[in-house]
Homo-oligomer: A and B are copies of this chain.
Amino acid sequence: MANPTAAMLVIGDEILSGRTRDANMHHLAGRLTVAGIDLVEARVVSDNAGAIIAAVRALSKAYTHVFTSGGIGPTHDDITSDAVAEAMGARIDVRDDALAILTAHYERQGTELNTARMRMARIPEGASLIENPISAAPGFSLGNVHVMAGVPSIFEAMLASLLPSLTGGDPVRSQTLRVERPEGEIATALGALAQSYPDLSFGSYPFISEGIYGSNVVVRGADAARLDEAYARLQAEFIEAVK
């Protein structure tokens, strides 16, 4: 059976202006591969309600899961929760369960739960909360859309809370062979090998390192025995052949 599919939606002007380099996509990609969920597409949009709504609608229809990061804090540019609710046709308001979590957290800290912070208790009707062990304000899952924070440490903690509840398929394993020959020299043989293993996926990722033009050849698949066999053939073809 095919693995469940997923898309990521990164929300934030700071990524698109080049101020910040996104880290959450790379983290999510690695975790989903292990969980047996195929990340098929990722998008980055700005803090713009129309853009978020359009992307959530398109992605939630096309894939099993959508994971979002960013835009759920207390400031005026944090509009993700309201936009996701609108995209999914859900009502949204301050919700008692989220408010109780924030109230307890700020009481422990001796900090005021002011109007701005109350925004973080806005959770769509019907959503289930995603635990935030770092700064309390929860994420949420609404339908197949999982809404998480943008700060990497919080995103990672929320994802760790969420992932065990999602059902994945077979983990995709991979093996990488570093070949110190340019892609142009190995392309024909690699293409032929890829055709003879239609159940596996072969990728070639060129690199330039200390003046050497090389290729990292990666073979991926769920069946460990087939992977080992294909990897042995890659080695024989591209490493032993040049000795």
Contact A114 B188 (CB under 8 A): yes
Q: How far is the CB of A211 from chain B (nearest CB, A)?
A: 11
Contact A75 B29 (CB under 8 A): no
For chain A, residues 190 to 243, give those with C-beta under 8 angstroms from any C-beta of chain B: 190-191, 194, 201-208, 213, 215, 218, 220
Give bound CA distance, A172 to B202, whole Å. 42
Contact A77 B202 (CB under 8 A): yes
Can you name 22 A-B residue pairings with CB atoms under 8 Å? Answer: A12-B205, A14-B203, A15-B25, A17-B29, A18-B32, A18-B33, A19-B218, A20-B205, A22-B25, A41-B43, A42-B43, A75-B215, A76-B190, A76-B202, A77-B202, A77-B204, A114-B184, A115-B188, A150-B206, A151-B207, A153-B208, A154-B208
Q: Which residues of B contact A21 (CB under 8 A)?
A: 26
Contact B51 A30 (CB under 8 A): no
CB-based nearest B residue for A149: B206
Contact A17 B33 (CB under 8 A): yes
Contact A17 B191 (CB under 8 A): no
Q: Mark A156-179, 1 if CB is under 8 A from B, else 0.
A: 000000000000000010101000
Q: Is A40 an interface residue (CB 8 A)?
A: yes
Integer count of this chain's copies in the complex:
2
Give bound CA distance, A14 to B206, whole Å. 11
Binding site for B on A (CB under 8 A): 12-22, 25-33, 39-47, 51, 73-77, 111, 114-117, 119-120, 134-135, 150-151, 153-154, 172, 174, 176, 183-188, 190-191, 194, 201-208, 213, 215, 218, 220
Q: Which of the residues B46, B75, B174, B218 comes within 8 Å of A40, measured between beta carbons?
A: B46
Q: How far is the CB of A2 from chain B (nearest CB, A)?
A: 14
Q: Please judge, given known A-B contacts A74-B184, A183-B75, A203-B77, whether A39 and B17 are in contact too, CB under 8 Å.
A: yes
The 7 A-B pairs with the shortest beta carbon distances in the complex, nearest first, are A116-B187, A18-B29, A18-B30, A76-B191, A117-B184, A42-B44, A75-B204
Q: How far is the CB of A136 from chain B (nearest CB, A)?
A: 11
